[in-house]
Amino acid sequence: MGADGVHEVIPAILSLLRSLTARHEVLVVATEQVASPPAYELAGARVIALGRLRRERLGRIRAAGRTISAIRAFRPDVIHAVWLGPGSTLAILAGRSSRIPVVVSVGGGELAALPRIGYGGARTWRGRRHSALALRWAAAVTAGSRTALEPVLGRRRDARWVPLGAERASHDGPLDPRATDGPLRLLVAASINRVKGPDVTLEALARARRTLGNGVDLRLEWLGEDTLGGSTAALARALGIADVVGLRGFRPHWLVLDAWRDPDLAIQGSYHESLGVAVLEAAMAGVPAVGTAVGLVAELATADPPAAIAVPAGNAAALGDAIVALAHDPERRARLGEAARAWALAHDADWTAASFEAIYAEVTAVRRSRA
């Protein structure tokens, strides 16, 4: 959680912090995400940044000691580890040594193994060990979508479903009607990395453009840091679609939220998602998602009424065909957008905070009953 609230920040976690700090005292111990400054305030929470854990054994031991000391000095009622990994292991150690209940949340690909793209915590014995420890000893376990929850339930039948909701503020109240003329506007809000499937998204766009011909024009904007060294722009040129693809790079979160006012569709080409917060931010603005059946896209697609369109992960042809189908059907796009917004409003950031507060109260009550 970066000190400026803009860089090295995960917006959904920041939204959760804002909701929780309105009613509770919150300490965040950032073990790896940021290097400096060592302490600051963010969204009403105290943050202790321990720097990136060193690979050397001594560095890891020192970081572990500082983490446990910081937690003990704060004397929390509950510890919440977001992501299974070194941080959750430290949380478990701190909790067990101080008799404090620990809640852990699956935040990404901790239980996934996708060797073709080099992704997933389950690919390594360290990742598997961290996950096993958290799932064995946590007082409660959560996941942000049904697809992320499914592999957890095999090891923790009491695991809970708690999506990280989006904030209402930027898109509260009636939405302005979207223009029906001009090109079909597509938006991706995600870092450009292999798990986000830029190859799937661009190949789908190329297929959709060929199918639509001159009848419907398409434009794709991608907001997010490029971690692949320009290979996505090169692929767009190779596919002959560079003229309709805008790779805009990193944008502060408030600009991303504002950008959702204009597009017709949110696009997800990911090979894996535990959640997909951008999908909910789009939904808050009435923008339906068309994407691969991972994370919340899969969930919204099976909602009643349907609130997204999902295709098999990695299937660029199916994604392109789904874009074409909605390009010709603005009424269906509007219905999907209305259903998506209703779902997002019902599961917003305040709902998420209240859900976690109920879990915190439950696990602390169990601790008191055993004291």
Domain presence at residue 4:
no
Tell me what pLDDT residue 168 has: 83
Domain presence at residue 118:
yes
Nearest Cα residue to 81 out of 47, 104, 108: 104
Domain presence at residue 261:
yes
Tell me what pLDDT residue 171 has: 56
Domain presence at residue 3:
no
Residues 151 and 216 in one domain: no
Residues 30 and 81 in one domain: yes
Residues 142 and 186 in one domain: no
Number of structural domains found in the chain: 2
Domain presence at residue 2:
no
Count Cα atoms within 13 angstroms, Cβ side, for 21: 16
Beta-strand relationship, 39-42 and 45-49: antiparallel
Q: What is the CATH number of the domain that holds 113?
A: 3.40.50.2000
The tokens describing 320, both together, are 């392109």
Q: Name the DSSP letter for residue 311.
A: E
Domain presence at residue 218:
yes
Query: What's this model's pTM, rounded to 2 decimal places?
Result: 0.91
Residues 158 and 296 in one domain: no
**Apex CA 128: angle with CA 127 and CA 134, to 5°?**
95
State which residues form the domain around 328: 169-346
DSSP string, 350-365: HHHHHHHHHHHHHHHH
Residues 330 and 364 in one domain: no
Give the C-alpha distances (Å, rounded to integers) separating 186 from 129, 199, 287, 327, 367.
Answer: 40, 16, 10, 10, 49
As to burial, measured by CB atoms within 10 angstroms (0-12 exposed, 13-18 middle, 19+ buried), residue 60 is: middle
Nearest Cα residue to 195 out of 105, 275, 308: 275
Tell me what pLDDT residue 336 has: 97
Tell me what pLDDT residue 174 has: 61
Residues 173 and 115 in one domain: no
Tell me what pLDDT residue 177 has: 60
Tell me what pLDDT residue 165 has: 92
Q: Name the DSSP letter for residue 239.
A: T
Residues 173 and 161 in one domain: no
Residues 320 and 283 in one domain: yes
Residues 102 and 203 in one domain: no
What does the pLDDT look like over 215-257, one tens digit per residue?
789 999 999 999 999 999 999 999 999 999 999 999 988 899 9
Given a cut of 70, the residues of the chain with pLDDT beneath it are 1-5, 32-36, 51-60, 169-181, 371
Separation between Cα atoms, residue 173 and residue 326, nearest integer Å: 26
Domain presence at residue 6:
no
Q: Which residues of 320-349 are buried (b: 16+ CB within 10 A; e: fewer)?
A: bebbbebbeeeeebbebbbbbbebbbebbb
What does the pLDDT look like over 169-213, one tens digit per residue?
655 556 666 656 678 999 999 999 999 999 999 999 999 999 998
